[in-house]
Amino acid sequence: MKSKKTELFTGGMIGNGIIGDPPSDTRSSSQTKSFGYQVLGFGAGGGGFAEYTLSMLVVGGAGGGGGGSASAAGGGGAGGYRTSDQTNPAQGTALTITVGAGGASGGTTGYGAIGAQSQISGTGLTTITTAPGSGGAKDGVHAYNAGTFASGGGGGSFTGEGATPTASPAGQGRKGGTGISSYNPGPQGGSGGGGGGHATVGGNATGDTAGVGGTGTQINIIGSTQGYSGGGGGGARYASYGNIPTPPTGGGGRGSQSGAAEAGTANTGGGGGGTGTAGASGAGGSGIVVLDLPDASYSGTTTGSPTVATGQTTAQGSARTTLKFTGSGSYTI
């Protein structure tokens, strides 16, 4: 029997000549995901294996926050977010796992670095790749406005624009927020925009309040609900005047006023926070790859030392085995 390959991406369905979203699709704004909507089959299982579903989460490395030496900088964009369900994978299929690193901090004066992509590939499998998160802008300037990013970095103060991902594949992330200058109350202040998240855009700075990082997405694929791919918060110029919002769901780092900003949480794809006039910005959070399959179907081999847990209850049901890769490796079914 011929295998059928169909993949439903977050931004539309591409497979067997069909392009377009289902009429009731609201995934682009949802903050909680389940696994019934992305199906990519790659052949009937062999060796007497019963049919089952292998669920996958792939999150890329996020961008680092910008440095605000004389004003305020933007937060880093979240790493790309993708999920896929693999129906009845064939015995012997080897999955190669690559986990992207987060982008470096922009320090006290520079742009935040771009994160790295994460990927699952293998023979007979359509490769699943995430785009990296964009770095946040340094003080007083625009964020990166070109390139293939999952999420845009926030703009620096003095009305620096946030980055718009020009080719964000499959709706993996959103644009960054805009920075702003401010003369109230008194000395010239300024605030940076928030980095884009997977679910929502990065917040624009308003007066002396820095832009909040964009919201990430929550999902249960490891036995508990976790948030991934949130944007980093912007920085504010003066500790006595600035206001730094608390980051929303998704691992994005909090921006700073006069000290070091927070890094994005490791293995969430959360963007690094931007900084104000003193202190370094935060690095972007690294990505993650998670595999989720029934306990009864887990009998393969791994490399790269993933964290393996059996008897978990995930969005796919109970008695599930989860393989959490925080570094590169492989799984052979």
Model confidence pLDDT, tens digit, residues 82-104: 999 988 888 888 999 999 999 99
Q: For the chain, give the number of residues.
A: 333
pLDDT at position 189: 65
The residue-averaged pLDDT of 249-253 equals 94
Three-class SS state of 269 = coil
The residue-averaged pLDDT of 18-37 equals 32
Q: Is the pLDDT of residue 26 over 80?
A: no
pTM reported for the whole predicted model: 0.84
* Number of separate helices (H) and strands (E) present in the chain: 0, 17
pLDDT at position 242: 56
**Cis, bond preceding 22 (omega within 30 deg of 0):** no
- List the domain range (segments joined by +) for residue 218: 1-21+30-333
- The answer to whether the Cα torsion of 87, 44, 58, 8 is positive or negative is negative
β partners of residue 15: 18
The residue-averaged pLDDT of 171-189 equals 76
Of the ranges 117-131, 136-150, 196-210, which one carries the lowest mean pLDDT score? Answer: 136-150
Give the total number of structural domains in the chain. 1
Confidence of residue 247 (pLDDT cuts 50, 70, 90): confident
Q: Is the pLDDT of residue 70 over 60?
A: yes
pLDDT at position 148: 83
Q: How far apart are CA 121 and CA 129, in angstroms?
A: 8
With residues binned 3-state (H G I as helix, E B as strand, rest as coil), the percentages for the chain, rounded to 5, are: 5, 25, 70
Write the pLDDT tens digit of every residue in 190-245: 889 999 999 999 999 987 889 999 999 999 999 999 999 999 999 987 655 557 88
Side-chain-side CA neighbours of 274 within 13 Å: the count stands at 60
Q: Is the pLDDT of residue 159 over 90?
A: no
Dihedrals φ, ψ of 292, to 5°?
-135, 120
Strand 217-220 vs strand 32-33: parallel, antiparallel, or unpaired? parallel
Annotate 253-262 with b (16+ C-beta within 10 A) or e (fewer).
bbbbbbebbb
Q: How far apart are CA 285 and CA 42, in angstroms?
A: 31
Query: Which residues lie below 8 Å from residue 297, measured CB to CB, with a gap of 6+?
Result: 49, 50, 52, 54, 321
